[in-house]
Amino acid sequence: MTEKDDLTRIIIGCKKGDGKCFSQIVDAYAGRSYGYFYRLTGNTSVSDDLLSELFVKLVEKIGSYRGGSFESWLFRIATNIFHDYLRSKQRRKKLLEAHQKELESELTEPKKSGGEQLDKLQIQLKKMDEDTRELIMLRFYSGLSFKEIASMRSEPIGTTLAKLHRGLKKLREMME
């Protein structure tokens, strides 16, 4: 039985509400999804929450999965969850700006996040623009093809290729 057959069997089990199959999905995708969230937020606590949300949504939405690339489907949900998080963060920031400038600086501080020491890569990633950072992480953690990523982002494949190339080249320069 191939890996794809295994995944198909697990997904069918999930659709039937089999808890064991959901556990298998969590085991298979939690690491990659967590890495994706962590590299985008730089915060383990937030990543924990986003990861939980991802799997809650997975349970809710598994009935709407109609075949095709499961990774693409899963990371589309992950991307939406991250965007929702960004929006809520923006709202919080605006509230803080209005009431408390000190707290706002804690939220926007790039080198620390909840008292965590960020690794060098995370510090450099924070300096990149949000869209490029998201594209690099989506490609790296989802393992989707450029065609799938371009389709998910609703942009021409040439644009996706060019952005990723520029982003990774810049990241390499920053890391050297």
Partner 1 sequence: MNGQDEKNLKELFEKFVGSSEAEKAVEDIRKGEQILRENPAPQPSSEVIDEIKYEIAKDLLQKRTGAYGFRKTVYEVAAVAAIVTILTAISIKFFVKSDEPYGPVKTEYASVIPTSFWDSEDAVTDDTDLAILTAKIEQIEGEMLSLQLGRSESNGQTAVTELEMELEEIESDFWKG
2-10, 76-84, 106-114, 164-172 -> range binding partner 1 (CB under 8 A): 164-172
4, 66, 101, 120: which one binds partner 1 (CB under 8 A): 120
55 binds partner 1 per the rule CB under 8 A: yes
6, 9, 31, 155: which one binds partner 1 (CB under 8 A): 31
For residue 52, give the amino acid letter: S
Task: Provide the 8-state DSSP code for 64.
Answer: G
12, 19, 61, 130: which one binds partner 1 (CB under 8 A): 19
Q: Which of residues 35-54 bind partner 1 (CB under 8 A)?
A: 35, 38-39, 44, 47-48, 51-52
**72/148 Cα distance (integer angstroms):** 7
CB 128 within 8 A of CB 40: no
**161/157 Cα distance (integer angstroms):** 6
**36/23 Cα distance (integer angstroms):** 20
6, 9, 12, 30: which one binds partner 1 (CB under 8 A): 30
Which single residue is written with the structure tokens 């690339």? 69
Residue 39: CB atoms within 10 A of its CB come to 19
CB 138 within 8 A of CB 79: yes
Q: Of the two residues 57 and 93, which places its CB atom closer to partner 1 in the complex? A: 57
2-10, 88-96, 100-108, 113-121 -> range binding partner 1 (CB under 8 A): 113-121
3 binds partner 1 per the rule CB under 8 A: no
Q: 89: which 2 tokens?
A: 């963060």
Task: Provide the 8-state DSSP code for 68.
Answer: S
65 binds partner 1 per the rule CB under 8 A: no
Q: 51: which 2 tokens?
A: 């990861």
Site for partner 1, rule CB under 8 A? 17, 19, 22-23, 26-27, 30-31, 34-35, 38-39, 44, 47-48, 51-52, 55-56, 59, 119-121, 136, 140, 146, 157-158, 161-162, 164-165, 167-169, 171-172, 175
